[in-house]
Structure 1
Amino acid sequence: MPLSNTSHCSIYTQLEPFTYFYYLIFLIGFIGSCFALWAFTQKDQKQKCMSIYLINLLTADFLLTLALPVKIIVDLGVAPWKLMIFHCQVTACLIYINMYLSIIFLGFVSMDRCLQLMHSSKLYRIQEPGFAKMLSAVVWIMVLLIMVPNMVIPIKEIEEKPSVGCIDFKTKFGKDWHVFTNFICTAIFLNFSAIILISNFLVVRQLYRNKYSDSYANVKKAQVNILLITAGYIMCFVPYHIVRIPYTLSQRDAITDCFLKQSLFKAKESTLLFAVSNLCFDPILYFYLSKSFRLKITGTFTAQKETMALTREREH
């Protein structure tokens, strides 16, 4: 048989090494998200746009923590057949719902931070908490309308076998919607990446202009933090979207060479790992961007240190 014959091309194999990284991401992300949830629920009732967007980002992260254990079991190759089907219909979609909600809300966070520095009265209304809540609701509805059909479109029954991909369960309509979804999501990524990069550039430029009026050390630290956040965003999401389109074409047999299909699948899984790792970085983002969150965390640790110091004094 020639190598390009896809009927005997085993693609969905050698996933076990990825599971160890997913397990680590799950543990770190789950602990960080729980800590963030506790801090946000303890803060004052007064909400700003930034806090609303960060809470929505946190909600999306919890969807990812629900999906990762199932993906780990499936990738280890120990999942029952019904769990494999459930993963393909539900939890795999939750991973992508988290990814694009994260991208969108990171875009809103960057834009809101930029508007805060501009102090423009013409743009005041879009910085109101009510507008942020309405916009967040629209985003959730939009993303779910794009993604949920991948969960509910009927699948076809196939013979149980050890090496199978989620695309194998899809009917022709399901595959067409899958391709359509990927192109729409790529457009979302490109647009919101532009928002994030432009907003962060404007923030860095504004900080540079104010370096003589404010503390130079604080301005320098803020600039470095913004550049690190931007670099983290690029590292998490850009590699995946470079691979996504050619991989999608290989799923629809526009690419038929077996070695190339296997390489694209491994590249997709590797870059998806980077995309999912945003679960670990988000708590750092909350700490940097939310003053109330930062004060709560630092206040808690300060109180713990004082309690430990008093306990030692009493013992002596």
Structure 2
Amino acid sequence: MMLPSSNTSGGGGGAAATEQCIVNDQMGPFIVLYVLVFVIGLPGNLLSLWTFIRSPRAEQQSTSVYLINLLAADLLLLLALPIKILKDLGGAPWSLMVFHCQASAVTIYISLYASIAFLAFIIIDRYLQDCHTVRSLRLQEVGFARLLSLVVWLLLLLIMVPNMALPIQHVQEQRYLSCSSLKIDISLHWHALTIFLCTALFVNASAAVLISSGLALKRLLGSRKDPELWVHARRVARSVTAVALAYILSFVPYHVVRTPYTLTQTKVITDCHTKRQLFLGKESTLLLSVLHLCFDPLLCFYLHSPFRQTLRQMFSCCRKQTFSDTEEQSAEEMMEPAASG
């Protein structure tokens, strides 16, 4: 078995020492938590998407467009998550581990940054609902929201897909595969560029989130003398602040660790202990980011009234059907003794 950090010398005449550093041999707790996220997140997101499809006003609001795209990004991540779990177990077939590094890991990051963008759009849209200027109304048009969503997906695909297509090098089969070990120089350079571009996207989205949250709170404080305006401004500020806090807790820690971890992948940082610590930090904060899969269905319920109405109608129909079935069964049971008598 390969040790996490070992120095081995060749036999005979003092060959040069070689060092092997394994960073991903402590994935047990992460695997359990990822499985829980998958088991909780998949039913909630499928139910949310189905409810949106059944909703008669599913895409008549800009918020609806962003929420549907957010759910699509979540389902994309949920599809890729089982492959990551199998790879992290360390006993998956070699071809599946390589496939994860080339395809499913990239899919996870496409979904992650799509979620960041659409959550930012939702926060901005919630603030714009409190503004009634001509410009804000134009930004809230459904056509504009669809165009903006399409631009986000195309931009992420343009940045990320080359990571799938660039050539890889052949390495010896091993239990713990580090994806960066498969990359040749040009692949590593593009990977570093991808991280830089995605971090820039995150910084811009975070700036928009903070500005929108600040303006919503400012408008709330400025409407204290008008009771009707205060109620509306308080509702908007509360929703904006709640989503902004979830955004910050989910994605800021990951990006604090992401840049120094990338330096270990590009071989700028070579100390094994440092690499192991940064890898554990990256996996911990990535798990924190993935947790939004469990809370996004609640976000849909909280922010979108047609979604709530459709969901309540669905459950009320189910309760009525269950009640009628129970009545029929009870009537049949009461008729049986009378018939036998």
1:247 counterpart residue number: 261
What does residue 7 of structure 1 align with? 19
Cα distance change on mapping 1:6 and 1:123 into 2, 3 Å: farther
What is the CA deviation profile of residues 222-245 of structure 1, one whole-angstrom value per residue up to 9, with x for unaligned ones?
A: 644443322221111111000000
Per mean C-alpha deviation after superposition, the further-off stretch among 117-126 and 155-164 is 117-126
Q: 2:300 corresponds to which residue?
A: 286
The question of 1:18 aligning with 2:30 is answered yes
Match of 1:228 among 217, 232, 242: 242
CA contact (8 A) 1:6 1:258 kept: no
User: Which residue identity is paired with 2:178?
Assistant: G
- Higher gyration radius (CA): 2
Distance in 1 separating the partners of 2:44 and 2:235: 23
Aligned partners of 2:126 and 2:236 also within 8 Å: no
What TM-score, normalized by structure 2, do the two folds share? 0.85
Distance 1:43 1:68 in 2: 28
> Structure 1 stretches (4+) deviating beyond 6 angstroms?
215-219
Equivalences, count: 315
Q: Which has the higher contact order (CA 8 A, sep 6+)?
A: 1
SS in 1 for 2:170: coil
What code does the residue aligned with 2:46 have? C
Deviations along 1:141-186, one digit per CA (max 9) or x if unpaired, are 1010000000110111111112220000001000000011001111
Please point out which of 92, 95, 104 is paired with 1:79. 92
Please tell me the residue identity of whatever aligns with 2:37. Answer: I
Task: State the SS of the aligned residue for 1:254.
Answer: coil
- 1:95 corresponds, among 100, 108, 119, to 108
Give the distance between the partners of 1:43 and 1:166, measured in 2 at CA. 42
What are structure 2's unaligned runs of at least 5 residues? 1-5, 9-16, 332-341
Where do 1:234-313 residues align within 5 Å?
234-308=248-322
Instruction: Tell me the equivalent position of 2:67.
Output: 54
Deviations for 1:80-139, whole angstroms, at most 9, x for unmatched residues? Answer: 000000000000001100111011111111111111111111332222111111111111
Partner of residue 194 from structure 1, selected from 207, 210, 214 = 207
Gaps of at least 5 residues in structure 1 are none
Letter in structure 2 aligned against 1:259? H
1:70-219 map, 5 Å = 70-210=83-223, 212-214=226-228
Give the share of equivalent positions with the same residue, in percent.
Answer: 44
- 1:53 and 1:109 in contact (8 A); partners too: yes
